[in-house]
């Protein structure tokens, strides 16, 4: 699973951990997360290499919302999350964005 959610009892926040799936990290030099939560900016949310070799980042997101996102490999290749909660059209050609429901 490449999304892990942890709802906080003390605040109206969900800590969402995004983990890039193995097939897309092979040979990657950098992986970023672009989405509704960061204005689709490629330079804001970088994934860090974990001890197990995976790449991940954790964001605080407001519950009761859906956020579109995609992984960006080496600043050029856009990839969906294969285990996203759902998908929605990008509005550009026939592509879809991954969606996390919080």
Cα 77 from Cα 42, distance rounded (Å): 11
Helix ranges restricted to H, 1-102 = 22-25
Q: What percentage of the chain exceeds 70 in pLDDT?
A: 99
Q: What is the CATH number of the domain that holds 28?
A: 2.60.40.10
For residue 93, the enclosing domain spans 3-101
Measure the CA–CA gap between 65 and 45, rounded to whole angstroms.
19
Residues 45-84 pLDDT 10s: 999 988 888 899 999 999 999 999 999 999 999 999 988 9
What domain count does the chain have? 1
For the cut 80, the answer to whether the pLDDT of residue 93 exceeds it is no
User: Can you give the pTM of this predicted structure?
Assistant: 0.90
d(CA 21, CA 38): 21
| Tokens read off for 90 | 């990008």
Instruction: Using pLDDT thresholds of 50, 70 and 90, give the confidence band for residue 27.
Output: confident
Say if residue 10's pLDDT is above 80.
yes
């Amino acid at each position: 699973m490449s999304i892990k959610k942890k709802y906080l009892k003390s605040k109206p926040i969900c800590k969402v951990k995004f983990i890039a799936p193995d097939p897309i990290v092979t040979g990657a030099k950098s992986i970023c997360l672009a989405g509704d939560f960061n204005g689709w900016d490629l330079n804001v949310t970088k994934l860090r290499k974990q001890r197990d070799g995976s790449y991940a980042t954790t964001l605080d997101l407001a519950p009761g919302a859906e956020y579109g996102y995609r992984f960006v490999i080496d600043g050029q290749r856009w990839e969906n999350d294969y285990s996203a909660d759902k998908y929605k059209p990008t509005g550009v050609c026939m592509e879809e964005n991954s969606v996390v429901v919080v």
